Amino acid sequence: MGKLNVGDKAPDFSLKDQNDKEVNLEAHKGRKTLVYFYPKADTPGCTKQACNVRDAKAELADLGVDVIGISPDAPGKQKKFDNKYDLGFTLLSDQDNKVAKAYGAWGEKSMYGKKYEGVIRSALLLDEEGKVMQTWYKVSPKDTVPKALKALEEE
């Protein structure tokens, strides 16, 4: 599946969170939502990104924004990640990568010259109706929050 564009309806999903509870996008209707995809919990880049989101959680909430992080990690691993860094926001387990593919956050990557398929670090800002307001594919871990805040400010 290709990347989503501004104005597209974000695909709904239902995934297990770090507490093994089913969470779906529809439940966030009426609030803006920052959905971001990360490759693997408790790795340097993903930790930096998650901690930046954690540190901006109150500011985002004041702007009416919910946050959802999604990776292929199992709910138990997400829970450890959440507890270790006191993240305090929803982390979802997309073990079959269906949601990442539906959002265009899955594709060819390369490391040390070797090509492979994996999660492409991406962030999408959705409006209250679940439509895409902004997308950032291949976003840097440190840029997720500043880009989201700038987009909210410009709205």
CATH number at residue 31: 3.40.30.10
Task: Examine residue 5 and state whether it is found in any structural domain, yes or no.
Answer: no
Secondary structure class of 92 (helix, strand, coil): strand
**Active-site pick, 34, 46, 123, 132:** 46
Task: Examine residue 133 and state whether it is found in any structural domain, yes or no.
Answer: yes
**Which DSSP symbol is given to 131?**
B
Task: Examine residue 125 and state whether it is found in any structural domain, yes or no.
Answer: yes
Task: Examine residue 65 and state whether it is found in any structural domain, yes or no.
Answer: yes
Task: Examine residue 4 and state whether it is found in any structural domain, yes or no.
Answer: no
Q: CB atoms < 10 A from the CB of 49, how many?
A: 23
Task: Examine residue 49 and state whether it is found in any structural domain, yes or no.
Answer: yes
Looking at the structure of the chain, the number of domains it has is 1
Position 1 confidence tier, pLDDT thresholds 50, 70, 90: low
29-67 pLDDT, tens per residue? 999 999 999 999 999 999 999 999 999 999 999 999 999
Name the phi and psi angles at 108, rounded to 5: -75, 135
Look at the chain and count its residues. 155
pLDDT at 110: 82
Q: What is the mean pLDDT of residues 114-140?
A: 95
Task: Examine residue 3 and state whether it is found in any structural domain, yes or no.
Answer: no
Task: Examine residue 117 and state whether it is found in any structural domain, yes or no.
Answer: yes
- This prediction has a pTM of 0.95
Q: What domain range includes position 60? A: 14-141
| Catalytic annotation present for 46 | yes
